[in-house]
Amino acid sequence: MNLAWLNAWTERLTGRPLSLQRGMEFLKFMLSGLPSFLLALPLNVLLVESAHCPKSAAYALVLTFQVTVNFFITRYWAFRKRSTAGLARDFVLFFSAIMLFRVGDWAIYTLLIHTIDWMNRHYLAPQLLDVTVFAAVKFLFTERLFRKH
């Protein structure tokens, strides 16, 4: 099967063609989110079940935690940007932009748990769904941020 069209479309959209290196960066990007995600699930349960925090508020706190942890892992491991030069600037840009994506994530999560009874009872399911839906968009932004600066 000829995938030249996909490569051309990707390059037109993102400015970079598909490559093994880029595929590995995406894999590392996804894996770099795993530690904070694995911490986020029990944190969400703790906030909702033990602290009796409303589900939407608990998820907002969890998202803030995840974005902060993900910045450091993604910057240093997935994109190998190890110098501290521009660290504060990179953090502000990353945190601000990713939180905009996460507001969409949070809005979808809140809509799902308030409109679909099953999602309300199993409130971690929409959290898993949102991670999948927003992954590619966040990767494209992060790739551009850490390649540009």
Backbone angles phi, psi at 34, to 5 degrees: -65, -45
Q: Which of 3-17, 62-76, 128-142 has the lowest mean pLDDT?
A: 3-17
pLDDT score for 143: 84
Q: How far apart are CA 137 and CA 30, in angstroms?
A: 12
For residue range 88-115, list pLDDT tens digits in order: 999 999 999 999 988 888 898 889 888 9
Q: How confident is the model at residue 149 (pLDDT cuts 50, 70, 90)?
A: low
Using H for helix, E for strand and C for coil, what is the string for 22-89?
HHHHHHHHHHHCHHHHHHHHHHHHHHHHHCCCCHHHHHHHHHHHHHHHHHHHHHHHHCCCCCCCCHHH
pLDDT score for 33: 86
Q: Which amino acid is at 35?
A: P
**Sign, Cα dihedral of 105, 108, 112, 115:** positive
pLDDT score for 3: 65
The overall longest dimension of the chain from CA atoms, in Å, is 54
